[in-house]
Structure 1
């Protein structure tokens, strides 16, 4: 999935292997757990509620009460290690689960869910639990691309569209897309801070392999789950 963040034009999309064998479009219809790819929603909420990229969170083990778990929920980082005082910038750069969970606890589940819906996620796909911090909800690749386009578009969200033009055999223009006007859902300050932190993910974080493309303007986030 590739999306023009300024216009919403879908530049590239692969939804399956053969349309004639299956019309199910995995890029626009298939919902999977986004995992750590969802963490920018948690960090955006934190920045909108008084945190900064240099704010410090203690990366340490905690137990969260859960009526469905006898011993509660004990989230862990990848590698089962904890790193002590950690800035938000480093927490996102290294994808520290505990930083994300504690940010969600500090800002509140309702605020984070509201942020997610502003970015185009559907309410029923957003879990109202602290596991939201680790991307336990559901999203399509298109929804994820649209989310990241906001950070590349100075905080503005646009409606994605597939068809640019339809032209008849005689050259008559039958249809032409009219890109939606940008809707600014983030302040310039929050958008800038998020973009800066997401660039660090590529430059010195979990997405350094993207540097092989030889570009200095890349920003992003890795995400891994056990769900397909």
Structure 2
């Protein structure tokens, strides 16, 4: 099996997201990701949200989930984040999104068969979310938003090296960086992924490498 693109579903999700996010100034990321998740007919949409972050992307993913009859799950690290997320979604008229409060490794262990994953690079554990994700055997689309900034904007970072961040054995079919919003690093993981079967060590750490597209410098972070 592999991901199959549906332009009609993508278009419907895009239009509905535009309507749902009309009160937000910055909604381009939400509209793009909503269309992508719906177009790829995602069935398990997971987002790792950063407390204090904008809510439009979450709205877009919820819209996409409605169009594909998908499970939409938000992973947050603590109760404070959960309350902020639920409040933001409720004020936007959306209250059905499932929220999991766990550390990255524990949260992703509960979510088997992820085929659309959105991670906020502002999260300190964003690398661990990616590494411990258990992807669908038909392939998956991975998105890191706010790729040009990290730790409250202290550095401009982009150019994620997926082969360093992801578990060994995963096949990255293609990847791209888009200058949308604060930057989107995106990758398509192929249908021969082994994420559901790999045993992941809870104590194993790995260096995450990014490349600053402006200066060409490499930046290392321990995940």
Give 1 or 2: higher helix fraction. Answer: 1
TM normalised by structure 1 equals 0.28
Give 1 or 2: higher strand fraction. Answer: 2
- Larger relative contact order (CA 8 Å, sep ≥ 6): 1
TM normalised by structure 2 equals 0.29
